[in-house]
């Protein structure tokens, strides 16, 4: 028989644990305010919090990923509920959403605008962002708001934009280009809010692309680094292709060095994107292999992905194939599993170095992998053991393309 005091103690402990679990489950989920933008901003000001504006649209996959993976996370939910009023709006279906998107020149989704209680923008971030990276962004925004570090956007949602901008924001994106460039031709101060929004949100000809680039650092500082990053991402990719056609590697490197600060701690992955665009356009794959080999930013997975991709692009370039094994000899001495060994087997098979190919494919088969990839490795092994089959066999590379744009 359990003594009465001990029994009551156990009951109390069970009750407290249950209450704690209930409280935790409530706090974990991000609470989104159900009301107007003005009411949400008023609530944030009254509670001495920031306002997080979630700009999304139905059918946006990164938006859905944020909704299902990031906002329910305990660290995010707890921090947002404590320090922010969260408010979301569909930028295509809701009138307030359309107004917000136009006011801030939102073109990438999801977009998150962080405002202080007076309506001043503290930060804008765009795209799917993992919990690990989203929390520091929120924390930095709170710190910036406390120190009065805000952007140059005005507080009012009502803006006087030219009619061609409103036309462009419609779903078909049709607008009067002549009126647009006539307006731009009359401008002197590019660093005002309206001109920043117009230049950032709308397609530009060569003249105004260069104007944008010349003001990129100022725009990033005064308005939004992320918005500027997204704008010049496309511009730099286009320029990289043109530089590649003329094989102007010096101009390409100068361009990267000029704008890398706008990409901040994201530069490593975007550098890879620009480099891939450049070398795929000029088709100097031997130089591309040398670049990857000497660049420590490319880890073992990057190199495996690169080698397999290049073998698909350059099936008969012996010089390129002979350079590929060196990608791995001086890099990453960790345990090399199926991907590494199978990739090396494919390289040596294509080089007709049958003995080496056999050694690597046998090593690959000691590791687990996808069923179809193991079948490909077994098929290669059988072909290697039959001179007749090896003449007609064509090895299948790995599909290991890493996403550089999603983080």
- What are the tens digits of pLDDT across the range 123-156? 999 999 999 999 999 999 999 999 999 999 999 9
Task: Flag the least confident range among 225-234, 254-263, 317-326.
Answer: 317-326
Q: At what angle do helices 193-201 and 225-245 cross, to 10 degrees?
A: 50
What strands, in cross-sheet order, belong to the sheet with 84-90? 84-90, 50-56, 111-115, 121-126
* Residue 50, SS3 per DSSP: strand
13: pLDDT strictly greater than 80: no
Q: At what angle do helices 338-350 and 300-313 cross, to 10 degrees?
A: 30
48: pLDDT strictly greater than 80: yes
Q: What is the pLDDT of residue 218?
A: 97
Q: What is the pLDDT of residue 389?
A: 73
Q: What is the pLDDT of residue 14?
A: 47
Tell me what the mean pLDDT of segment 58-73 comes to: 96
Q: Band of the pLDDT at 391, cuts 50, 70, 90?
A: confident
pLDDT: is 4 or 67 the higher one?
Answer: 67
Distances (CA, A) of 374 to 22, 38, 82, 129, 387: 47, 58, 50, 34, 21
pLDDT: is 65 or 6 the higher one?
Answer: 65
284/279 Cα distance (integer angstroms): 6
Distances (CA, A) of 356 to 20, 323, 340, 353: 61, 15, 14, 6
180/344 Cα distance (integer angstroms): 55
Q: What is the pLDDT of residue 171?
A: 86
DSSP state of 336: P
For 97-129, write each residue's pLDDT tens digit.
999 999 999 999 999 999 999 999 999 999 999
* Residue 90, SS3 per DSSP: strand
Q: What is the pLDDT of residue 107?
A: 94
DSSP state of 33: P
Hey, what are 110's tokens? 């999801």
160: pLDDT strictly greater than 70: yes
291: pLDDT strictly greater than 80: yes
The backbone torsions φ and ψ at residue 225, rounded to the nearest 5 degrees and listed phi first, read: -60, -40
Q: What is the pLDDT of residue 44?
A: 98
253/266 Cα distance (integer angstroms): 17
Tell me what the mean pLDDT of segment 17-25 comes to: 48
Among 260, 264, 242, 261, smallest CA distance to 251 is for 242
Residue 3: Cβ-neighbour burial (10 angstroms; 0-12, 13-18, 19+): exposed
407: pLDDT strictly greater than 50: no
95/103 Cα distance (integer angstroms): 12
Report the chain's mean pLDDT, rounded to a whole number.
90
Q: What is the pLDDT of residue 26?
A: 52
Taken in order 290, 293, 295, 297, the sign of the CA dihedral is positive
In angstroms, how far apart are the furthest CA atoms of the chain? 92
Q: What is the pLDDT of residue 364?
A: 94
Tell me what the mean pLDDT of segment 322-329 comes to: 88
Q: What is the pLDDT of residue 336?
A: 82
Q: Band of the pLDDT at 371, cuts 50, 70, 90?
A: very high
Enter the pTM of the model: 0.84
Taken in order 271, 242, 213, 57, the sign of the CA dihedral is negative
Tell me what the mean pLDDT of segment 302-318 comes to: 86
State percent of the chain over pLDDT 90. 78
For 180-223, write each residue's pLDDT tens digit.
999 999 999 999 999 999 999 999 999 999 999 999 999 999 99
Percent helix, strand, coil in the chain, to 5, is 60, 5, 30
356/346 Cα distance (integer angstroms): 10
* Residue 85, SS3 per DSSP: strand
Residue 63: Cβ-neighbour burial (10 angstroms; 0-12, 13-18, 19+): buried
Tokens 């120190």 belong to residue: 147
Q: At what angle do helices 177-185 and 193-201 cross, to 10 degrees?
A: 140
Taking the alpha carbons at both ends of the chain, their separation in whole angstroms is 58
């Amino acid at each position: 028989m359990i003594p009465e005091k001990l029994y009551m103690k156990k009951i109390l402990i069970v009750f407290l644990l249950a209450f704690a679990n209930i409280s935790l489950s409530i706090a974990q989920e991000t609470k989104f305010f159900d009301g107007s933008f003005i009411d949400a901003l008023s609530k944030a000001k009254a509670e001495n919090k920031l306002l997080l504006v979630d700009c999304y649209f139905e059918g946006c996959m990164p938006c859905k990923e944020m909704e299902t993976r990031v906002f329910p996370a305990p660290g995010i939910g707890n921090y947002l509920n404590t320090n922010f009023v969260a408010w979301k709006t569909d930028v295509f279906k809701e009138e307030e959403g359309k107004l917000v998107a136009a006011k801030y020149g939102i073109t990438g989704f999801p977009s998150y605008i962080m405002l202080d209680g007076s309506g001043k923008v503290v930060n804008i971030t765009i795209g799917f962002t993992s919990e690990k990276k989203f929390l520091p962004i929120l924390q930095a925004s709170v710190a910036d708001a406390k120190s009065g570090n805000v952007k140059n956007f005005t507080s009012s949602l009502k803006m006087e934009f030219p009619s061609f901008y409103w036309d462009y924001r419609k779903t078909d994106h049709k607008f009067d280009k002549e009126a647009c460039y006539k307006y731009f031709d009359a401008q002197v101060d590019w660093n005002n809010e309206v001109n920043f929004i117009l230049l950032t949100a709308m397609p530009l000809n060569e003249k105004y692309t260069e104007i944008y680039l010349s003001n990129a650092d100022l725009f990033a500082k005064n308005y939004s680094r992320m918005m500027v990053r997204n704008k010049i991402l496309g511009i730099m990719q286009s320029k990289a292709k043109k530089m590649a056609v003329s094989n102007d590697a010096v101009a390409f490197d100068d361009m990267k060095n000029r704008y890398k600060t706008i990409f901040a701690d994201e530069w490593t992955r975007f550098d890879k994107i620009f480099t891939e665009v450049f070398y795929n356009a000029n088709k100097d794959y031997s130089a591309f292999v040398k670049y990857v080999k000497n660049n420590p930013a490319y880890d073992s997975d990057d190199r495996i992905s690169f080698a397999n991709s290049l073998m698909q692009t350059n099936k008969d370039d012996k010089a390129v194939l002979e350079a590929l094994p060196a990608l791995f000899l001086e890099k990453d001495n960790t345990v090399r599993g199926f991907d590494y060994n199978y990739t090396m087997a494919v390289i040596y098979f294509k080089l007709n170095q049958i003995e080496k190919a056999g050694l690597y494919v046998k090593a690959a088969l000691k590791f687990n992998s996808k069923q179809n990839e193991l079948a490909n490795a077994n098929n290669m092994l059988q072909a290697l053991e039959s001179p007749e089959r090896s003449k007609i066999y064509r090895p299948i590379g790995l599909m290991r393309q890493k996403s550089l744009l999603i983080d």
